């Protein structure tokens, strides 16, 4: 089997593990039927609380990091000729990045309906373009603190990703790959974009409102 096909399959299967769904099911909840209906960390955080949300966030990010740093690069090192490893490792890592996120977004275990890929993308980027990740993380934090919209921060951070990638790497392949990740992220947020435009998107509340006396 071609090494890149093997990387794609393994990365997809790793990314497709529906962490949020499994964690919620363990607590007797079908996360797809409550809140936003999304299986990602944000919905788990809202429905099941901080510990569960943080756990899902970390595991979903770890899926992306492992797909790139361990699955792709180890296979490339083991199966590709040593004199081709420079560019081939980058290609293998890029393939793993894309398919890990596709696995999360369209998991085969839930009839190809998954999350929005933000946490898994963060894990992928930590392995693939860590400096670009830091830049877009700063964008996300700034917008989240200013607006208290998780979705707006995610959308704008995704939009900044290809520019941050080119600025930090000057690598065309990586810029193309992160551009595809940007398109995937924004597409998966289409419902959030509609709610933002309508003014009905939920904000994160930092403090609980006082009950009326």
Give the confidence band of 11 by pLDDT, cuts at 50, 70, 90: very high
pTM higher than the cut 0.75: yes
**Which stretch of DSSP H or E encloses residue 180?**
helix 172-188
Q: Model confidence over 73-90: pLDDT tens digits?
A: 888 888 776 655 557 889
Q: Which residue has the tokens 């930092």?
A: 206
pLDDT reading at 17 higher than 60: yes
Share of the chain above pLDDT 70, in %: 93
Higher pLDDT: 213 or 163? It is: 163
The 10 Å Cβ neighbour count of residue 206 is: 7
The confidence score (pLDDT) of residue 86 equals 55
| CB-count burial class (<10 Å; 0-12, 13-18, 19+) for 200 | exposed
Average pLDDT over residues 115-127: 96
Structure-token match 């990010």, residue found: 61
pLDDT digit string (tens) for 178-193? 999 999 999 999 999 9
Q: Could you read off the pLDDT of 27-59 as tens digits, one per residue?
A: 999 999 999 899 999 999 999 999 999 999 999
Rounded to whole angstroms, the Cα distance separating 106 from 83 reads 36
pLDDT bucket at 2, cuts 50 / 70 / 90: confident
Question: Cα(113)–Cα(131) distance, rounded to whole angstroms?
Answer: 31
Residue 88: what pLDDT? Answer: 85
Tell me, what's the pLDDT at 212?
42
Confidence of residue 211 (pLDDT cuts 50, 70, 90): very low
Write the Ramachandran bin of 120: left for phi over 0, alpha for psi from -120 to 50, otherwise beta. Answer: alpha
pLDDT for 10 beyond 50: yes
């Amino acid at each position: 089997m071609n090494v890149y096909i093997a990387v794609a399959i393994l990365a997809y299967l790793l990314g497709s593990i529906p962490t949020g769904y499994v964690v919620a099911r363990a607590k007797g909840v079908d996360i797809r039927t409550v809140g936003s209906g999304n299986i990602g960390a944000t919905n788990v955080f809202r429905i099941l609380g901080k510990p569960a949300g943080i756990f899902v966030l970390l595991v979903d990010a770890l899926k992306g990091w492992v797909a790139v740093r361990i699955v792709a690069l180890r296979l490339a090192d083991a199966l590709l000729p040593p004199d081709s490893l420079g560019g081939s490792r980058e290609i293998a890592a890029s393939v793993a990045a894309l398919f890990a996120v596709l696995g999360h977004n369209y998991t085969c275990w839930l009839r190809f309906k998954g999350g929005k890929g933000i946490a898994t993308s963060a894990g992928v980027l930590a392995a693939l373009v860590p400096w670009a990740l830091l830049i877009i993380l700063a964008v996300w934090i700034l917008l989240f603190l200013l607006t208290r919209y998780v979705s707006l921060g995610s959308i704008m951070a995704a939009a900044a990703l290809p520019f941050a990638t080119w600025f930090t790497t000057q690598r065309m392949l990586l810029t193309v790959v992160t551009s595809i990740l940007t398109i995937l992220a924004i597409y998966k947020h289409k419902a959030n974009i509609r709610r933002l435009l309508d003014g009905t998107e939920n904000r994160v509340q930092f403090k609980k409102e006082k009950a009326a006396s």
